[in-house]
Structure 1
Amino acid sequence: MNTATYTVTGMTCQHCVSSVTEEIGEIAGVTGVDVDLPTGAVTVTSTEVLSDDAIRAAVEEAGYEVTAS
């Protein structure tokens, strides 16, 4: 298992969390997404190492921005 944590800005509610979780969850190899709304920390667990670009693209598709990884 591989785990990576990203900081996502712009999330303000549970709907935001759901959108980010859903988009990242569609990436091949992702087995889990844990979002901490107060801090903006998004921890992604996967079966393989994922590219930061794939995570950024998924977060942007949900309408938010990755500010740190």
Structure 2
Amino acid sequence: MSSVTLKVEGMSCSHCVNAVEGAVKKLGASAKVDLAAHSVAVDFDEAKVSLDAIKNAIEDQGYDVV
């Protein structure tokens, strides 16, 4: 199991939290959004999903992973 914290810009409300956490969950990973820090803490199994796939899922929701 791997853990990473991603800097994500553009999140500002509970809809953003639900969109990002939901997109990551669909990949089989878990995410915890911190709106104040503009970050997403992600726990994932590298054998099942790549970090790039997680970043792409977040960006597909309209947010920028920096």
TM-score by length of 2: 0.84
* 3-state SS in 2 of match to 1:11: coil
Task: Give the Cα separation in 2 of the matches to 1:26 and 1:40.
Answer: 21
Percent identity between the two aligned chains: 38
Query: Which amino acid in 1 is paired with 2:31?
Result: V
1:66 aligns with 2:39: no
Q: Which runs of 5+ in 2 are unaligned?
A: none
**Length-normalised TM-score, structure 1:** 0.81
**What do the CA deviations read for 1:12-37 (whole angstroms, capped 9, x no partner)?**
11110110011111113x1x211101
Within 2, Cα distance between the matches of 1:56 and 1:38?
Answer: 19
Which residue type is aligned with residue 45 of structure 1? D
Q: 2:43 aligns with which of 42, 45, 49?
A: 45
The number of equivalent residue pairs is 64
- Structure 1's unaligned 5+ residue stretches are none
The SS at the match of 1:44 is: strand
RMSD of aligned residue pairs (Cα, Å) = 1.2
